[in-house]
Amino acid sequence: MSFIRRLLKAAPTPTADGAYIPSPLALKLATSPTTDYDGGHYPKRVSSGRNRIVMVCTQERNMTMKNGTKFSTGNHPVEMGLPMLHLLAAGFEIDIVTPTGAPAVIEDWAMPHKDNAVTQLYRDYRQAFEKPGSLADFVANNLTPESPYIAVYLPGGHGAMLGLPDDANLGRLLHWAHDNALFTLAICHGPAALLAANKGTPFLYSGYKIAAFPDSVDKQTPMIGYMPGHMPWRFGEKLKALGVTTINSKADATCHVDRRLISGASPKAANGFGRLAAETLLQSAS
């Protein structure tokens, strides 16, 4: 079987630290050198008031799979980048934080290197990703009635399942956002971080419907070498057990708004999710 996988270029590729990135076949099927970013034109931009967004990124890279191998992941550059472009184009300011202020980890293997808008964004924000704020400090100092923040943004990438779902400070931030009518934005595996709000009964998002990357697709991806093994747990299963319904069954362009939770299904949804988030926030801020 391993010979056949090598022949088809479906064997995950090892990295210097002993983890694996997706196989050449998986990269060909699941990534692209360009994106469908639509240019982010907004005739009316937000000008003042609640015009800031806090984006909570993972600082962890390697996910240990069920078979003991490690998958090299992080924040997905398209799922994070395209919504950023839309929100910035609409006039919002984005503050980047990680749990401790360690660098935000980005899945470089998924970077669309021929997409000028995306690559320029990552050049512009390089220092912010390398030296983000601390989520702990943010929660200690910014959860006030006078806060200029309008949304919490949980970008995609399997890295959202590392550390964030158990982060007590993220739980406090999500509860504060919910109680103070802020929006929460989550795409692909980003909804896994919503589990941080599982403090008390009922779950903060019980009864909500979301778009997210389906567990059923994650179960299939090792077949093409996207991951070196099956994931240690399924975030969709955990959310479902807490009363959350995922409305899509494919890794498609589905986007959804339920109250003040805006969600998207996969990298294919990144442009539509970004535009939906920007337009919804603009309408709320006007």
Q: Which of 188, 251, 265, 269 is catalytic?
A: 188
Encode 135-158: b = buried (16+ Cβ within 10 Å), e = exposed: bbebbeebbeeeeebbbbbbbbbb
**CA dihedral over 66, 71, 75, 80, signed as positive or negative:** negative
User: Is 57 a residue of the active site?
Assistant: no
Token look-up 């220092």 returns: 127
- What residues contact 122, with CB distance under 8 A and at least 6 apart? 77, 81, 106, 111, 129
Distance of alpha carbon 88 from alpha carbon 82, whole angstroms: 10
The residue type of 139 is V
Q: How many CA atoms lie within 13 A of 67 on its CB side?
A: 9
> Judging by DSSP bridges, how do beta strands 62-64 and 70-72 pair with one another?
antiparallel
Q: Is the peptide bond before 165 cis (omega within 30 degrees of 0)?
A: no
Residue 177 parent element (H or E): helix 168-179
Distance in angstroms (rounded) separating the CA atoms of residues 103 and 258: 32
For the chain, what's the residue count?
286
Cβ atoms 266, 213 nearer than 8 A: yes
**How far is it, in rounded angstroms, from Cα 235 to Cα 253?**
19
Catalytic residues: 188
